[in-house]
Amino acid sequence: MPDNFGMLPVTVLVINLDRDTGRLAGIAAQLDRLGLAWQRIPAVYGASLSEEDCARLVDRAGYGRRHGMFPSRGEIGCYLSHLDAMRALLASPAQQALILEDDVGLTEDLPEVLRALAAVPERWDMVKLSAVHGGTPRAVLPLTGRHALTVMLSQCTGSSAYVVNRFAAQRYLERLLPMRLPYDHAYDRAWVLGLKVRRVDPLVALHDSEAPSTIAAVSAASGQSTVSSRKFPWYRKLSTYAWRIANELRRVFHGLVQVRRERRRVDRDAAATSVAPGASEACGE
């Protein structure tokens, strides 16, 4: 597996469908420009999954209750692709992996932020570097002169760029199957997974909303249903509304506890640092 151990203690994994050679060339050019070695993770093409595979890997009824619709084959393929990336990390000697979807845009600040995250591995298990919704981030630790590690108080979807450690990768493989939500709704539920989930602010990777995911896309030619046809009518979504309200209340409560805990830790560390020189001088007298 290509690594960046000489530069960064992280391996870079790019999720890409076999047919999407143009997207692969685009993300490869960005990574090469930043000096980051990378490995391609072949994405799962959902339309090729058998009915037996889908029945085994997806809790269709549970997904419907939580998300108000049934999953498409593309969403299933996207979900399984990210879990394959977790397996690739665990099969490697790397302690951390940068997971990228092939349509993400990377900023010049990415390597610096990766180095800063690697310097504080005890403060996170998964860190989002891109986002669709903001997530109401609250800063808990400075990373660079411009960037901070934050805790999110609201929903922050998107999974086009994030860093994960081995503990989180193992936890995802243990707890995210069967599928009951889209991947980007499932993998940041820190209070359920027992993970320290964070976000970098400002973001260092840009989700391309104008280039829809080809992994999760639904193809009419392949016989897959459209989003509108998969959505439940409002009267069948009452349980979904109740689940979402409870989920977001748990997110807020968990986030506030994390913010308070992390800020107290920063204050303790700062106090210990300020006391240490004086203690050393006293010992020397």
Phi and psi at 233, nearest 5°, equal -65, 160
Percent of the chain with pLDDT over 90: 80
Residue pLDDT, tens place only, 242-267: 999 999 999 999 999 999 999 999 99
* Residue-wise pLDDT tens digits, 180-238: 999 999 999 999 999 999 999 999 999 875 555 565 654 434 445 567 678 889 888 99
C-alpha–C-alpha distance, residues 218 and 273, integer Å:
55
Work out the number of other CB atoms within 10 angstroms of the CB of residue 153: 20
- Give the C-alpha separation, 39 to 7, whole Å: 16
Give the tokens for residue 285.
């007298």
Structure confidence at residue 281 (pLDDT): 52
Each residue of 37-72: pLDDT tens digit? 999 999 999 999 999 999 999 999 999 999 999 999
Mean pLDDT across 112-140:
97
What per-residue confidence (pLDDT) applies to 208?
A: 72
Torsion of CA 80, 85, 89, 91, to 10 degrees: 60
pLDDT tens digits, 90-110: 999 999 999 999 999 999 999
Give the N- to C-terminal CA distance of the chain in Å, as an integer.
Answer: 54
Look at residue 273 in the predicted model and tell me its pLDDT: 84
Specify the pairing of strand 126-128 against strand 39-42: unpaired
Domains of the chain, earliest start first: 11-271 (3.90.550)
CA triple 131-86-183, angle to 5 deg: 40
- Give the pLDDT confidence score for residue 123 in this predicted structure: 98
Residue 207 confidence (pLDDT)? 81
pLDDT at residue 222, as a whole number: 45
How far, rounded to the nearest angstrom, does the alpha carbon of residue 141 sit from its chain's CA centroid? 19
CA 197 to CA 180: how far, in whole Å? 19
Please say if the pLDDT value at position 282 is more than 90: no
pLDDT of residue 283: 47
Task: Report the chain's mean pLDDT, rounded to a whole number.
Answer: 91
